[in-house]
Amino acid sequence: MSIANLSVLTLRQAADLKEKIVALEKQLAGILGSTAKPASTPTAKATKKKGGMSAAGRAKVAAAQKARWAKIKAAKPTVKAVVAAKPAKKKFTMSAAAKAKLSALAKARWAKVKAGGKKTL
């Protein structure tokens, strides 16, 4: 149930219950001798983001990774300059007659399928 749908009386009852809970938690802490805060109030540790890395840590990791890549790139010989350029392979092109023949075959195949009442091959 949404808070927006609650009546004023219901909200007042909820607030009263909340106050009673906080008072009972304080009383319980006094009896047990605990210095812990009530569970209803979030602590600084609970709201702090866990994990993560500082900016200095990220900078160290980035510097180490750049050094690794520099070492790898320095070790590789430049193969592209040594290899002789191969002539470009001729691209296969289909003649107009071959395209027309394939088109006619496809149209005949679809006409046969549609005549059989099917929607797909």
Domain boundaries, the chain: 1-41
pLDDT in tens, 85-109: 777 888 888 999 999 999 999 999 9
What totals of helices (H) and strands (E) does the chain contain, helices first?
5, 0
pLDDT in tens, 10-62: 889 999 999 999 999 999 988 888 665 655 555 555 666 677 899 999 999 99
Q: Identify residue 57 by its one-letter amino acid code.
A: G
Contact of 26 with 34, CB cutoff 8 Å: no
Predicted pLDDT at 82:
56
Statement: residue 81 has pLDDT above 70: no
Q: Which pTM does this prediction carry?
A: 0.27
Predicted pLDDT at 76:
81
